[in-house]
Structure 1
Protein backbone atom coordinates (compact mmCIF):
# COMPACT_ATOMS: atom_id res chain seq x y z
CA UNK A 1 0.00 0.00 0.00
CA UNK A 2 1.40 3.40 -1.02
CA UNK A 3 0.64 6.48 1.08
CA UNK A 4 1.54 10.14 0.62
CA UNK A 5 3.79 11.42 3.41
CA UNK A 6 4.81 15.01 4.09
CA UNK A 7 7.57 16.26 6.37
CA UNK A 8 10.13 19.05 6.42
CA UNK A 9 13.70 18.82 5.07
CA UNK A 10 14.97 19.83 8.53
CA UNK A 11 17.40 17.39 10.22
CA UNK A 12 14.98 16.32 12.95
CA UNK A 13 12.44 15.09 10.38
CA UNK A 14 14.93 13.50 7.98
CA UNK A 15 16.58 11.78 10.97
CA UNK A 16 13.20 10.37 12.05
CA UNK A 17 11.99 9.24 8.62
CA UNK A 18 15.22 8.03 6.99
CA UNK A 19 14.84 4.38 8.03
CA UNK A 20 11.17 4.36 7.08
CA UNK A 21 11.44 5.73 3.56
CA UNK A 22 14.64 3.84 2.77
CA UNK A 23 13.25 0.51 4.05
CA UNK A 24 15.92 0.00 6.70
CA UNK A 25 13.14 -1.33 8.90
CA UNK A 26 10.08 -3.51 8.41
CA UNK A 27 7.43 -1.18 6.95
CA UNK A 28 4.76 -3.90 7.13
CA UNK A 29 3.98 -3.61 3.43
CA UNK A 30 3.65 0.18 3.41
CA UNK A 31 5.39 2.35 0.84
CA UNK A 32 5.53 6.14 0.76
CA UNK A 33 5.31 8.96 -1.75
CA UNK A 34 7.35 11.64 0.05
CA UNK A 35 6.75 15.40 -0.06
CA UNK A 36 9.33 17.78 1.46
CA UNK A 37 7.97 21.18 2.51
CA UNK A 38 8.53 23.89 5.11
CA UNK A 39 6.23 23.71 8.12
CA UNK A 40 3.74 26.37 7.02
CA UNK A 41 3.34 24.73 3.60
CA UNK A 42 2.67 21.43 5.37
CA UNK A 43 0.12 23.19 7.55
CA UNK A 44 -1.66 24.55 4.49
CA UNK A 45 -1.66 21.13 2.84
CA UNK A 46 -3.21 19.68 5.99
CA UNK A 47 -6.02 22.24 5.87
CA UNK A 48 -6.86 20.91 2.40
CA UNK A 49 -6.26 17.25 3.34
CA UNK A 50 -3.75 16.81 0.53
CA UNK A 51 -1.62 14.11 2.20
CA UNK A 52 -2.36 10.79 3.90
CA UNK A 53 0.28 11.38 6.60
CA UNK A 54 1.78 14.75 7.46
CA UNK A 55 3.93 16.61 9.93
CA UNK A 56 2.19 19.79 11.07
CA UNK A 57 2.33 22.39 13.81
CA UNK A 58 0.20 21.60 16.83
CA UNK A 59 -1.33 25.06 16.49
CA UNK A 60 -2.32 24.26 12.91
CA UNK A 61 -3.76 20.91 13.93
CA UNK A 62 -6.69 22.76 15.52
CA UNK A 63 -7.79 23.69 12.00
CA UNK A 64 -7.34 20.17 10.59
CA UNK A 65 -8.62 18.01 13.44
CA UNK A 66 -11.78 17.14 11.53
CA UNK A 67 -9.65 15.51 8.81
CA UNK A 68 -6.67 14.13 10.75
CA UNK A 69 -5.90 12.33 14.00
CA UNK A 70 -2.59 12.64 15.88
CA UNK A 71 -0.17 9.73 16.10
CA UNK A 72 1.79 8.78 19.19
CA UNK A 73 5.13 8.58 17.32
CA UNK A 74 7.20 11.18 15.49
CA UNK A 75 6.41 14.32 17.48
CA UNK A 76 8.63 17.26 18.40
CA UNK A 77 8.07 18.12 22.06
CA UNK A 78 10.47 18.87 24.83
CA UNK A 79 12.05 21.24 27.28
CA UNK A 80 14.35 23.95 25.95
CA UNK A 81 13.15 23.49 22.37
CA UNK A 82 10.92 26.52 21.90
CA UNK A 83 11.13 29.36 19.37
CA UNK A 84 13.14 32.50 20.11
CA UNK A 85 12.11 36.11 19.64
CA UNK A 86 15.18 38.08 18.51
CA UNK A 87 16.16 41.55 17.29
CA UNK A 88 19.03 43.31 15.55
CA UNK A 89 18.55 46.31 17.85
CA UNK A 90 20.01 45.54 21.31
CA UNK A 91 18.10 48.49 22.78
CA UNK A 92 14.75 47.16 21.59
CA UNK A 93 15.68 43.67 22.79
CA UNK A 94 16.54 44.99 26.26
CA UNK A 95 13.41 47.16 26.42
CA UNK A 96 11.17 44.20 25.59
CA UNK A 97 13.00 41.99 28.09
CA UNK A 98 12.50 44.55 30.87
CA UNK A 99 9.12 46.10 30.04
CA UNK A 100 7.63 43.17 28.15
CA UNK A 101 4.48 43.65 26.09
CA UNK A 102 4.11 47.18 27.43
CA UNK A 103 7.12 48.26 25.39
CA UNK A 104 5.17 47.76 22.15
CA UNK A 105 3.38 50.93 21.12
CA UNK A 106 1.33 52.06 18.17
CA UNK A 107 1.76 48.83 16.22
CA UNK A 108 4.95 50.18 14.67
CA UNK A 109 7.11 47.22 15.66
CA UNK A 110 7.13 44.63 12.87
CA UNK A 111 7.83 41.00 13.64
CA UNK A 112 8.68 38.33 11.08
CA UNK A 113 7.00 35.00 11.82
CA UNK A 114 7.48 31.55 10.22
CA UNK A 115 3.75 31.20 9.51
CA UNK A 116 0.42 32.26 10.95
CA UNK A 117 -0.52 28.74 12.03
CA UNK A 118 2.80 27.71 13.55
CA UNK A 119 2.99 26.86 17.22
CA UNK A 120 5.74 29.50 17.40
CA UNK A 121 3.24 32.20 16.45
CA UNK A 122 0.75 30.86 18.98
CA UNK A 123 3.35 31.19 21.75
CA UNK A 124 4.23 34.70 20.57
CA UNK A 125 0.58 35.64 20.94
CA UNK A 126 0.53 34.34 24.50
CA UNK A 127 3.69 36.17 25.56
CA UNK A 128 3.35 39.38 23.48
CA UNK A 129 -0.30 39.88 22.48
CA UNK A 130 0.40 43.51 21.48
CA UNK A 131 2.79 42.39 18.73
CA UNK A 132 0.08 42.47 16.06
CA UNK A 133 2.10 43.81 13.11
CA UNK A 134 3.30 40.47 11.74
CA UNK A 135 4.88 39.52 8.45
CA UNK A 136 4.81 35.87 7.37
CA UNK A 137 7.98 34.52 5.77
CA UNK A 138 9.91 31.28 5.29
CA UNK A 139 11.66 30.55 8.59
CA UNK A 140 15.13 30.45 7.01
CA UNK A 141 14.83 34.05 5.71
CA UNK A 142 13.98 35.73 9.03
CA UNK A 143 17.55 36.34 10.21
CA UNK A 144 18.51 38.06 6.96
CA UNK A 145 15.34 40.16 7.01
CA UNK A 146 16.39 41.41 10.44
CA UNK A 147 19.93 42.15 9.27
CA UNK A 148 18.57 44.03 6.25
CA UNK A 149 16.25 46.10 8.44
CA UNK A 150 13.04 44.86 6.83
CA UNK A 151 11.60 43.80 10.21
CA UNK A 152 12.24 44.85 13.82
CA UNK A 153 11.81 41.46 15.49
CA UNK A 154 12.12 37.91 14.26
CA UNK A 155 10.54 34.70 15.53
CA UNK A 156 13.07 31.97 14.80
CA UNK A 157 12.77 28.19 14.91
CA UNK A 158 14.86 25.14 14.00
CA UNK A 159 18.58 25.54 13.40
CA UNK A 160 18.45 29.35 13.55
CA UNK A 161 18.60 28.93 17.34
CA UNK A 162 22.27 28.06 16.84
CA UNK A 163 23.25 30.78 14.37
CA UNK A 164 21.63 34.08 15.36
CA UNK A 165 24.29 35.18 17.89
CA UNK A 166 27.18 34.82 15.46
CA UNK A 167 25.27 37.13 13.10
CA UNK A 168 25.10 39.87 15.72
CA UNK A 169 21.44 39.36 16.64
CA UNK A 170 20.05 39.54 20.17
CA UNK A 171 17.59 37.37 22.09
CA UNK A 172 14.46 39.02 23.46
CA UNK A 173 12.82 35.90 24.89
CA UNK A 174 12.93 32.14 24.66
CA UNK A 175 9.21 31.43 24.19
CA UNK A 176 9.69 27.78 25.03
CA UNK A 177 11.12 28.79 28.40
CA UNK A 178 8.15 31.14 28.85
CA UNK A 179 5.76 28.24 28.20
CA UNK A 180 7.63 25.91 30.56
CA UNK A 181 7.63 28.47 33.40
CA UNK A 182 3.91 29.16 33.05
CA UNK A 183 2.69 25.57 32.54
CA UNK A 184 5.38 23.21 33.82
CA UNK A 185 4.89 21.19 30.62
CA UNK A 186 7.15 20.40 27.68
CA UNK A 187 6.40 22.59 24.68
CA UNK A 188 4.48 20.84 21.89
CA UNK A 189 5.85 22.07 18.56
CA UNK A 190 4.85 19.65 15.83
CA UNK A 191 3.27 16.24 15.47
CA UNK A 192 2.47 13.58 12.91
CA UNK A 193 -1.12 13.13 11.84
CA UNK A 194 -2.96 10.70 9.57
CA UNK A 195 -6.22 10.95 7.70
CA UNK A 196 -9.16 9.92 9.84
CA UNK A 197 -10.77 8.18 6.90
CA UNK A 198 -7.96 5.59 6.66
CA UNK A 199 -8.83 2.18 8.15
CA UNK A 200 -7.89 1.88 11.82
CA UNK A 201 -5.50 -1.01 11.21
CA UNK A 202 -3.59 1.12 8.68
CA UNK A 203 -3.39 4.05 11.10
CA UNK A 204 -1.93 1.81 13.79
CA UNK A 205 0.45 0.24 11.29
CA UNK A 206 1.70 3.71 10.31
CA UNK A 207 2.25 4.58 13.97
CA UNK A 208 4.21 1.37 14.58
CA UNK A 209 6.38 1.91 11.52
CA UNK A 210 7.20 5.53 12.44
CA UNK A 211 8.09 4.49 15.99
CA UNK A 212 10.30 1.74 14.57
CA UNK A 213 11.99 4.30 12.32
CA UNK A 214 12.73 6.63 15.26
CA UNK A 215 14.09 3.75 17.34
CA UNK A 216 16.34 2.67 14.45
CA UNK A 217 17.64 6.24 14.11
CA UNK A 218 18.52 6.39 17.82
CA UNK A 219 20.26 3.01 17.62
CA UNK A 220 22.10 3.95 14.41
CA UNK A 221 22.51 7.76 14.59
CA UNK A 222 24.83 8.06 11.60
CA UNK A 223 22.95 5.68 9.32
CA UNK A 224 21.08 8.50 7.58
CA UNK A 225 23.88 11.08 7.54
CA UNK A 226 24.03 11.41 3.74
CA UNK A 227 20.25 11.76 3.48
CA UNK A 228 20.15 14.31 6.31
CA UNK A 229 23.06 16.30 4.86
CA UNK A 230 21.47 16.32 1.40
CA UNK A 231 18.39 18.13 2.70
CA UNK A 232 20.21 20.27 5.27
CA UNK A 233 22.04 22.00 2.39
CA UNK A 234 24.46 24.60 3.79
CA UNK A 235 24.14 23.53 7.43
CA UNK A 236 27.31 22.24 9.09
CA UNK A 237 27.32 18.71 10.49
CA UNK A 238 27.76 20.13 14.01
CA UNK A 239 24.60 22.24 13.65
CA UNK A 240 22.75 19.31 12.08
CA UNK A 241 23.34 17.13 15.12
CA UNK A 242 22.61 19.96 17.57
CA UNK A 243 19.30 20.33 15.75
CA UNK A 244 18.56 16.60 16.02
CA UNK A 245 19.58 16.44 19.70
CA UNK A 246 17.26 19.36 20.46
CA UNK A 247 14.12 18.19 18.67
CA UNK A 248 14.27 14.37 18.65
CA UNK A 249 13.82 12.75 22.06
CA UNK A 250 11.70 10.28 24.03
CA UNK A 251 8.53 12.12 22.97
CA UNK A 252 9.45 11.35 19.35
CA UNK A 253 9.29 7.64 20.13
CA UNK A 254 5.99 7.92 22.00
CA UNK A 255 4.10 10.87 23.46
CA UNK A 256 3.07 8.98 26.56
CA UNK A 257 0.88 10.51 29.24
CA UNK A 258 3.18 13.51 29.73
CA UNK A 259 3.28 14.39 26.05
CA UNK A 260 -0.46 14.05 25.60
CA UNK A 261 -1.10 16.15 28.70
CA UNK A 262 1.14 18.91 27.32
CA UNK A 263 -0.78 18.94 24.04
CA UNK A 264 -4.11 19.03 25.88
CA UNK A 265 -2.78 22.00 27.90
CA UNK A 266 -1.85 23.79 24.68
CA UNK A 267 -5.31 23.31 23.22
CA UNK A 268 -7.10 24.14 26.45
CA UNK A 269 -5.31 27.49 26.64
CA UNK A 270 -5.97 28.15 22.97
CA UNK A 271 -9.67 27.33 23.37
CA UNK A 272 -9.99 29.49 26.51
CA UNK A 273 -8.45 32.46 24.67
CA UNK A 274 -10.57 31.68 21.57
CA UNK A 275 -7.40 31.51 19.49
CA UNK A 276 -8.42 28.31 17.68
CA UNK A 277 -11.72 26.53 17.01
CA UNK A 278 -12.76 23.74 19.37
CA UNK A 279 -13.25 20.26 17.99
CA UNK A 280 -15.57 17.54 19.27
CA UNK A 281 -13.29 14.84 17.85
CA UNK A 282 -10.73 12.86 19.83
CA UNK A 283 -7.27 14.36 19.19
CA UNK A 284 -5.22 11.20 19.46
CA UNK A 285 -5.22 7.79 17.84
CA UNK A 286 -6.56 5.34 20.39
CA UNK A 287 -4.19 2.84 22.01
CA UNK A 288 -2.31 0.73 19.51
CA UNK A 289 -3.66 -2.46 18.03
Structure 2
Protein backbone atom coordinates (compact mmCIF):
# COMPACT_ATOMS: atom_id res chain seq x y z
CA UNK A 1 0.00 0.00 0.00
CA UNK A 2 0.99 3.58 -0.39
CA UNK A 3 -0.09 6.93 -1.74
CA UNK A 4 -2.84 6.58 -4.34
CA UNK A 5 -3.95 8.48 -7.38
CA UNK A 6 -7.75 8.72 -7.34
CA UNK A 7 -10.26 10.30 -9.68
CA UNK A 8 -13.98 10.60 -10.40
CA UNK A 9 -13.31 8.70 -13.64
CA UNK A 10 -11.67 5.34 -14.17
CA UNK A 11 -8.69 6.60 -16.16
CA UNK A 12 -6.02 4.19 -17.31
CA UNK A 13 -2.55 4.59 -15.87
CA UNK A 14 -1.38 6.05 -19.19
CA UNK A 15 -4.27 8.54 -19.30
CA UNK A 16 -3.67 9.73 -15.74
CA UNK A 17 -0.09 10.69 -16.59
CA UNK A 18 -1.51 13.44 -18.84
CA UNK A 19 -3.83 14.94 -16.20
CA UNK A 20 -3.26 17.71 -13.68
CA UNK A 21 -2.94 16.12 -10.25
CA UNK A 22 -3.60 17.69 -6.84
CA UNK A 23 -0.73 16.73 -4.54
CA UNK A 24 -0.29 17.15 -0.76
CA UNK A 25 3.16 18.72 -1.05
CA UNK A 26 6.35 18.60 -3.06
CA UNK A 27 8.61 17.56 -0.20
CA UNK A 28 6.84 14.26 0.40
CA UNK A 29 7.56 10.64 -0.42
CA UNK A 30 4.22 10.60 -2.22
CA UNK A 31 5.34 13.37 -4.58
CA UNK A 32 8.70 11.71 -5.19
CA UNK A 33 7.12 8.37 -6.09
CA UNK A 34 4.48 10.07 -8.25
CA UNK A 35 7.25 11.70 -10.27
CA UNK A 36 9.10 8.41 -10.60
CA UNK A 37 5.85 6.85 -11.85
CA UNK A 38 4.99 9.74 -14.19
CA UNK A 39 8.01 11.98 -14.91
CA UNK A 40 6.98 15.54 -15.71
CA UNK A 41 3.37 15.11 -14.58
CA UNK A 42 1.53 18.39 -14.00
CA UNK A 43 0.78 18.93 -10.31
CA UNK A 44 -0.59 21.55 -7.97
CA UNK A 45 -0.12 21.58 -4.20
CA UNK A 46 -3.35 21.36 -2.21
CA UNK A 47 -3.68 20.72 1.55
CA UNK A 48 -4.01 16.95 1.89
CA UNK A 49 -7.42 17.13 3.57
CA UNK A 50 -8.82 19.20 0.68
CA UNK A 51 -7.71 16.95 -2.18
CA UNK A 52 -10.76 14.67 -2.23
CA UNK A 53 -13.28 17.55 -1.92
CA UNK A 54 -11.53 19.46 -4.72
CA UNK A 55 -11.61 16.41 -7.00
CA UNK A 56 -15.33 15.98 -6.29
CA UNK A 57 -15.93 19.68 -7.08
CA UNK A 58 -14.18 19.23 -10.42
CA UNK A 59 -11.22 21.49 -9.60
CA UNK A 60 -8.87 18.60 -10.44
CA UNK A 61 -9.26 15.52 -12.58
CA UNK A 62 -7.29 13.48 -10.07
CA UNK A 63 -5.43 13.69 -6.80
CA UNK A 64 -2.62 12.04 -4.93
CA UNK A 65 -4.00 10.95 -1.57
CA UNK A 66 -2.18 10.03 1.60
CA UNK A 67 -3.20 9.35 5.18
CA UNK A 68 -6.72 8.10 5.86
CA UNK A 69 -7.90 9.08 2.38
CA UNK A 70 -6.37 5.78 1.29
CA UNK A 71 -9.11 3.99 3.24
CA UNK A 72 -12.03 6.33 2.58
CA UNK A 73 -11.73 7.53 -1.05
CA UNK A 74 -14.35 5.05 -2.28
CA UNK A 75 -16.93 6.57 0.11
CA UNK A 76 -16.63 9.70 -2.03
CA UNK A 77 -17.34 7.82 -5.25
CA UNK A 78 -13.74 7.97 -6.43
CA UNK A 79 -11.79 5.37 -8.36
CA UNK A 80 -8.32 4.26 -7.44
CA UNK A 81 -6.19 4.66 -10.55
CA UNK A 82 -2.92 3.43 -9.10
CA UNK A 83 -1.58 2.50 -5.69
CA UNK A 84 1.97 3.84 -5.84
CA UNK A 85 3.08 1.52 -3.04
CA UNK A 86 2.11 -1.48 -5.16
CA UNK A 87 3.68 0.11 -8.23
CA UNK A 88 6.92 0.70 -6.31
CA UNK A 89 6.97 -2.91 -5.13
CA UNK A 90 6.43 -4.17 -8.69
CA UNK A 91 9.32 -2.03 -9.95
CA UNK A 92 11.80 -2.65 -7.11
CA UNK A 93 10.61 -5.69 -5.18
CA UNK A 94 10.90 -3.56 -2.04
CA UNK A 95 8.42 -1.98 0.39
CA UNK A 96 7.74 1.72 -0.15
CA UNK A 97 9.37 3.60 2.74
CA UNK A 98 6.76 5.99 4.12
CA UNK A 99 7.15 8.18 7.15
CA UNK A 100 10.55 8.34 8.69
CA UNK A 101 12.42 10.53 11.10
CA UNK A 102 15.69 12.20 10.26
CA UNK A 103 18.24 13.81 12.51
CA UNK A 104 21.23 15.98 11.70
CA UNK A 105 24.61 14.28 11.95
CA UNK A 106 26.09 17.47 13.41
CA UNK A 107 24.19 16.79 16.65
CA UNK A 108 26.68 14.02 17.30
CA UNK A 109 26.31 10.29 17.90
CA UNK A 110 25.36 10.55 21.58
CA UNK A 111 22.44 12.93 21.09
CA UNK A 112 21.35 11.13 17.91
CA UNK A 113 21.24 7.82 19.80
CA UNK A 114 19.38 9.42 22.71
CA UNK A 115 16.68 10.89 20.46
CA UNK A 116 16.39 7.63 18.53
CA UNK A 117 16.02 5.69 21.79
CA UNK A 118 13.31 8.05 23.07
CA UNK A 119 11.34 7.68 19.84
CA UNK A 120 11.74 3.90 19.94
CA UNK A 121 10.47 3.71 23.53
CA UNK A 122 7.47 5.86 22.66
CA UNK A 123 6.58 3.67 19.69
CA UNK A 124 7.11 0.48 21.71
CA UNK A 125 4.79 1.84 24.40
CA UNK A 126 2.13 2.64 21.81
CA UNK A 127 2.43 -0.82 20.25
CA UNK A 128 2.23 -2.48 23.68
CA UNK A 129 -0.77 -0.32 24.70
CA UNK A 130 -2.55 -0.17 21.37
CA UNK A 131 -6.08 0.50 22.67
CA UNK A 132 -4.90 3.39 24.84
CA UNK A 133 -2.77 4.85 22.03
CA UNK A 134 -5.61 4.50 19.54
CA UNK A 135 -8.07 6.22 21.89
CA UNK A 136 -5.65 9.13 22.12
CA UNK A 137 -5.08 9.24 18.35
CA UNK A 138 -8.83 9.25 17.64
CA UNK A 139 -8.95 12.81 18.96
CA UNK A 140 -7.12 13.81 15.79
CA UNK A 141 -8.87 11.48 13.33
CA UNK A 142 -10.74 13.08 10.48
CA UNK A 143 -14.00 11.23 9.85
CA UNK A 144 -12.64 7.84 10.88
CA UNK A 145 -14.57 5.45 13.03
CA UNK A 146 -12.52 3.49 15.59
CA UNK A 147 -12.35 0.33 13.44
CA UNK A 148 -11.07 2.18 10.37
CA UNK A 149 -8.68 4.23 12.51
CA UNK A 150 -7.30 0.99 13.96
CA UNK A 151 -6.73 -0.34 10.44
CA UNK A 152 -5.00 2.89 9.41
CA UNK A 153 -2.75 2.91 12.48
CA UNK A 154 -1.88 -0.74 11.83
CA UNK A 155 -0.73 0.18 8.33
CA UNK A 156 1.69 2.83 9.54
CA UNK A 157 2.62 1.96 13.12
CA UNK A 158 4.00 -1.55 13.31
CA UNK A 159 7.23 -3.49 13.74
CA UNK A 160 8.70 -1.75 10.68
CA UNK A 161 8.27 1.51 12.54
CA UNK A 162 10.77 0.19 15.07
CA UNK A 163 13.13 -1.37 12.54
CA UNK A 164 12.90 -1.03 8.75
CA UNK A 165 14.79 -4.30 8.39
CA UNK A 166 17.37 -4.91 5.64
CA UNK A 167 14.85 -4.61 2.80
CA UNK A 168 13.38 -1.43 4.28
CA UNK A 169 16.81 0.17 4.60
CA UNK A 170 17.59 -0.83 1.00
CA UNK A 171 14.23 0.65 -0.04
CA UNK A 172 15.13 4.01 1.52
CA UNK A 173 18.48 4.05 -0.25
CA UNK A 174 16.95 2.98 -3.57
CA UNK A 175 14.17 5.56 -3.38
CA UNK A 176 16.60 8.39 -2.73
CA UNK A 177 18.99 7.15 -5.41
CA UNK A 178 16.22 6.82 -8.00
CA UNK A 179 14.98 10.29 -7.10
CA UNK A 180 18.46 11.70 -7.59
CA UNK A 181 19.03 9.82 -10.86
CA UNK A 182 15.68 11.15 -12.16
CA UNK A 183 16.64 14.73 -11.22
CA UNK A 184 13.86 15.04 -8.64
CA UNK A 185 16.31 15.18 -5.74
CA UNK A 186 19.08 17.69 -6.43
CA UNK A 187 21.89 16.10 -4.40
CA UNK A 188 22.83 12.50 -3.72
CA UNK A 189 21.71 11.41 -0.27
CA UNK A 190 23.72 9.36 2.19
CA UNK A 191 21.61 7.68 4.83
CA UNK A 192 22.87 6.29 8.12
CA UNK A 193 20.37 4.43 10.26
CA UNK A 194 20.57 5.25 13.98
| Common topology (TM > 0.5) | yes
CA drift of 1:234 comes to 3.5
For residues 162 and 272 of structure 1, what CA distance do their matches in structure 2 show? Answer: 32
C-alpha distance 234-216 of structure 1, shift in aligned 2 (>3 A): same
- Equivalent of 2:179, from 253, 259, 270? 270
Matched with 2:34 is 124
Which has a greater percent of strand? 1
Matched with 1:257 is 166
CA drift of 1:271 comes to 1.8
- 2:107 aligned with 1:198: yes
- 2:184 aligned with 1:283: no
Matched with 1:113 is 23
SS at match of 1:223: helix
- Equivalent of 1:243, from 138, 152, 168? 152
C-alpha distance 179-103 of structure 1, shift in aligned 2 (>3 A): closer
- 2:65 aligned with 1:156: yes
What is the TM-score of this pair, normalised by structure 1? Answer: 0.63
SS at match of 2:44: strand
- Equivalent of 1:189, from 87, 94, 98? 98
Correspondence 1:73-112 to 2 at 5 A: 80=1, 82-90=2-10, 93=11, 96-97=12-13, 100=14, 104=18, 109-112=19-22
- Root-mean-square deviation (CA, aligned residues, Å) is 1.9
Matched with 1:56 is none
- 2:142 aligned with 1:222: no
Deviations 1:69-92 (A, max 9, x none): xxxxxxxxxxx2x111011123xx
Matched with 1:6 is none
Paired residues in the alignment total: 194
CA drift of 1:116 comes to 1.1
Matched with 1:5 is none
Asked whether the 8 Å contact 1:146–1:154 carries over to 2, the reply is yes
SS at match of 1:188: coil
| Higher CA-based Rg | 1
What residue ranges of structure 2 are gaps of 5+ in the alignment?
none
SS at match of 1:85: strand
C-alpha distance 261-194 of structure 1, shift in aligned 2 (>3 A): same
